[in-house]
């Protein structure tokens, strides 16, 4: 709920003071009825506000969905090759939402979908340096010095990568489970980084983006972010409410 004069001012009708004047003069209608009481509260997503009998912009409700993407889905809304898309996993939501960034066809894990273009842009633009953490199973046992290269930055065909955080989670005779955090999101970046040290990726899952964690969400399932999570994410990319 929002105070009417604040809503009008944000909609670009005028200053807070001049909007108060319009209300007192009886020039504002809410849901077809003239409102002259300052401090009247409206729901910007539901109520229809008119100024001099002209409806002013109804805001689109912002939706934030966290999906645990399974392998075998493309991160687009439509695939020219006819492969399954992440849209099919959220199809019971009757609103257009778009994936934030991209996970490869074979990659699993945290994928945010939203109609909040500003947040999406900032989460994916390297300027905002949002950390993205992955669990990656690689072939063989990378040496300390090989992992050091990834930590410092390694030259790929599209240039030097930013420093990364790396932690070995588990090791077997011929494979290793590693946690890696990167601060950019180039195409197939994690796969290419490990390929560059000759330890191809066998399995890749994103577990965290900014402060947002995948947690125990089952594969193929989604949930709405909590208000708290949205607030925190916005803060991390320098957006205020
Ligand atoms: N890095 C990759 O290589 N693939 C992804 O899907 C995400 C990050």
- pLDDT (tens digit, 9 = 90+) per residue, 13-45? 888 888 999 999 999 998 889 999 998 998 877
Cβ atoms 20, 38 nearer than 8 A: yes
The upper half-sphere exposure of residue 106, i.e. CA atoms within 13 Å in the direction of its Cβ, equals: 9
Residues 44-73: pLDDT tens digits? Answer: 777 888 888 888 866 678 999 999 999 999
List every span in the chain annotated with CATH 3.10.290.10. Answer: 2-55
pLDDT band at 119 (very low <50, low <70, confident <90, very high): very high
Q: What mean pLDDT do residues 162-187 have? A: 97
- Indicate if ligand 1 lies below 6 Å from the C-beta of 186: no
What is the pLDDT, as a whole number, of residue 46?
75
Q: What mean pLDDT do residues 134-157 have? A: 98
Helices 117-124 and 227-236, axial angle in degrees (round to 10): 50
Cβ atoms 59, 44 nearer than 8 A: yes
Q: CB under 8 Å to 127, separation ≥6 — which residues?
A: none
Cβ atoms 3, 23 nearer than 8 A: no
- For residue 158, indicate whether it is catalytic: no
CA torsion through residues 74, 79, 85, 91, sign: positive
CATH C-level class of 2-55:
alpha beta
Q: Token pair 């099919």 is at which residue?
A: 88
Fold of 131-209: Alpha-Beta Plaits (3.30.70)
**What are 233's two structure tokens?**
């994410």
Q: What mean pLDDT do residues 151-171 have? A: 97
* Overall pTM > 0.85: no
- pLDDT averaged over every residue in the chain: 93
What is the pLDDT, as a whole number, of residue 44?
78
What is the pLDDT, as a whole number, of residue 203?
98
List every span in the chain annotated with CATH 3.30.70.1560. Answer: 131-209
CB atoms near residue 183 (< 10 Å): 15
Instruction: Give the residue, by CA position, lying nearest to ligand 1 atom 3.
Output: 188
Residue 165 has pLDDT above 90, yes or no: yes
CA–centroid distance, residue 125 to ligand 1 (Å): 15
Pocket test for ligand 1, best of 69, 70, 75, 103 (most atoms within 8 A of CB): 103
What is the architecture of the domain spanning 64-126+212-236? 2-Layer Sandwich (3.30)
What is the pLDDT, as a whole number, of residue 103?
97
What's phi and psi for 2, nearest 5 deg?
A: -140, 145
Q: What mean pLDDT do residues 205-225 have? A: 97
- Indicate if ligand 1 lies below 6 Å from the C-beta of 191: yes
Pocket test for ligand 1, best of 76, 189, 195 (most atoms within 8 A of CB): 189
The residue with greater pLDDT, 18 or 145, is 145
- Indicate if ligand 1 lies below 6 Å from the C-beta of 189: yes
CA–centroid distance, residue 116 to ligand 1 (Å): 23
- Expressed in angstroms, the distance from the first to the final Cα of the chain is 14
What is the pLDDT, as a whole number, of residue 31?
87
Separation between Cα atoms, residue 196 and residue 178, nearest integer Å:
16
- Separation of CA 84 from chain center: 21
- Indicate if ligand 1 lies below 6 Å from the C-beta of 10: no
């Amino acid at each position: 709920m929002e105070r009417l004069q604040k809503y009008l001012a944000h909609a670009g009708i005028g200053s807070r003071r001049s909007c108060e004047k319009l209300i007192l003069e009886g020039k504002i209608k809410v849901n077809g009825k003239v409102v002259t009481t300052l401090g009247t509260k409206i729901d910007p997503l539901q109520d229809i506000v008119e100024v001099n009998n002209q409806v002013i912009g109804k805001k689109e409700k912002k939706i934030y969905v966290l999906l645990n993407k399974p392998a075998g889905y493309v991160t687009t809304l439509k695939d020219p090759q006819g492969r399954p898309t992440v849209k099919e996993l959220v199809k019971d939501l009757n609103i257009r939402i778009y994936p934030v960034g991209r996970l490869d066809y074979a990659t699993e894990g945290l994928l945010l979908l939203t109609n909040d273009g500003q947040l999406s842009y900032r989460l994916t633009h390297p300027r905002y340096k949002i950390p993205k953490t992955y669990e990656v199973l690689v072939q063989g046992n990378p040496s300390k010095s090989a992992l050091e290269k990834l930590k410092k930055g390694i030259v790929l065909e599209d240039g030097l990568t930013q420093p990364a955080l790396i932690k070995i989670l588990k090791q077997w005779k011929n494979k290793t489970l590693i946690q890696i955090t990167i601060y950019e999101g180039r195409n197939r970046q994690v796969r290419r980084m490990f390929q560059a040290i000759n330890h191809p990726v066998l399995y890749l899952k994103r577990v965290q983006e900014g402060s947002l964690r995948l947690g125990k969400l089952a594969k193929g399932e989604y949930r709405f972010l909590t208000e708290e999570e949205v607030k925190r994410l916005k803060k991390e990319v320098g957006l205020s409410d």
